[in-house]
Amino acid sequence: MMKLGEEYTKLVGNLQDNRTISGSTVGLQWLYSGSTVALQWLYSGSTVALQWLYSGSTVALQWVYSGSTVGLQWV
């Protein structure tokens, strides 16, 4: 099974939209690379992230809040 965080880290940098609001970072990142599509919503302060990844036949949804990870994957 693919680890969403690792896969997404490799892809970051293709296309990003990051905003800074009151000293906190709010970002929406959309990625398309080959057969991999990823969407990440990030709020950095207490670190809240929602990641969605589609790659080939793998679809993954990951919710991260302060180091806690809930993952849902279809293979």
Q: Is the pLDDT score of 13 beyond 50? A: no
Number of domains in the chain: 1
pLDDT digits (tens, 9 = 90+) for 24-52: 555 666 656 666 666 666 665 555 566 66
Residue 64 or residue 15, greater confidence: 64
Q: State the Cα–Cα distance between residues 12 and 50, nearest whole angstrom.
A: 14
Domain with 20, as residue range(s), is 4-74
Cβ 58 vs Cβ 72: under 8 Å = no
Contact by Cβ (8 Å): 60, 40: no
pLDDT at 61 over 50: yes
In sign, the C-alpha dihedral spanning 30, 52, 11, 67 is: positive
Rounded to two decimals, what is the model's pTM? Answer: 0.32
